[in-house]
């Protein structure tokens, strides 16, 4: 990807990393390939090794020299309380260059979240997926407000089969950020077509 002129952003899920040595090997490999940017996240709910949060791997100092992104949760998280999320964000900000939010289906929570941040924010949105697919993924990741929004707006059976267009959210949010992180959930072809049709690439 780097040889093709792209900017790959490897993810480092803390709870899926066994120990310091494994983390260092992963970091060193990324450096050797010329990676410049990373996203540090908590990852799986249950730790498989020594790390139980993203702050712990940030504190190792191994990411020095990278542009570092951390996760933001305007919609909350099923694995951590709102109070703990707020504290974690305060603790992680000194290590971070930007925030990427979880994906949301409404503009208001994103706008409210961005207005309170001191770091640049990339707003998480989805590509044009069917509402049935979005409901499934919202249930998996515990995005409770987005799930309620989807269910309340899926009154007509036909609506469930139509791809939901993310342009509405983009229009409402782009006054606060020009950066968007698109969650494709595997539908790369449809997302790429949508990006090209809207001149986003």
**Per residue in 101-132, pLDDT tens?**
988 878 898 999 999 999 999 999 888 877 66
For the ranges 28-42, 51-65, 87-101, 154-168, which has the lowest average pLDDT?
Answer: 154-168
The position carrying tokens 């950066």 is 179
Per-residue pLDDT at 89: 94
**What is the Cα–Cα distance from 91 to 189, expressed in whole angstroms?**
38
The pLDDT assigned to 142 comes to 52
**Token pair for 61:** 């100092």
Which pair of tokens denotes residue 181? Answer: 């992180």
Q: What is the mean pLDDT of residues 64-88?
A: 90
Q: Is 83 exposed, middle or buried (0-12, 13-18, 19+ CB in 10 A)?
A: exposed
Residue 201 confidence class, pLDDT cut points 50, 70, 90: confident
Residue 3 pLDDT? 92
Residue-wise over 31-42: b if at least 16 C-beta within 10 A, else e?
Answer: eeeebeebbbbb
CA distance readout (Å), 40 to 65, 68, 169, 175, 178: 14, 7, 25, 26, 21
CA distance 191 to 69: 23
More reliable by pLDDT, 39 or 148: 39
- 143 pLDDT higher than 90: no
Higher-confidence residue of 8 and 105: namely 8
Query: What is the Cα–Cα distance from 144 to 115, expressed in whole angstroms?
Result: 21
Q: Is the pLDDT of residue 155 over 70?
A: no
Among candidate residues 128, 97, 135, 121, the one with its CA nearest the CA of residue 179? 121
How confident is the model over 79-108, as pLDDT tens digits? Answer: 788 899 999 999 999 999 999 998 887 889
């Amino acid at each position: 990807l780097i040889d093709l002129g792209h900017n790959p952003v490897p993810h480092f899920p803390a709870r899926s990393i066994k120990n310091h040595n494994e983390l260092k090997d992963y970091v060193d490999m990324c450096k050797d390939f010329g990676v410049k940017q990373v996203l540090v996240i908590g990852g799986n709910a249950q730790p498989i090794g020594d790390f139980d949060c993203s702050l712990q791997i940030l504190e190792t100092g191994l990411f020095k020299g990278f542009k570092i992104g951390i996760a933001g949760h305007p919609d909350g998280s099923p694995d951590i309380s709102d109070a703990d999320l707020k504290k974690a964000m305060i603790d992680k900000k000194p290590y971070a260059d930007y925030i990427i939010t979880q994906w949301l289906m409404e503009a208001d929570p994103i706008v409210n979240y961005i207005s309170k941040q001191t770091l640049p924010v990339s707003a998480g949105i989805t590509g044009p997926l069917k509402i049935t697919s979005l409901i499934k993924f919202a249930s998996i990741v515990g995005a409770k407000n987005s799930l309620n929004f989807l269910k309340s707006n899926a009154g007509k059976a036909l609506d469930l089969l139509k791809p939901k267009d993310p342009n509405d959210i983009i229009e409402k949010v782009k006054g606060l950020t020009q950066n968007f992180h698109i969650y494709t959930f595997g539908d790369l072809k449809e997302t790429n077509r949508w990006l090209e049709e809207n001149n986003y690439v």
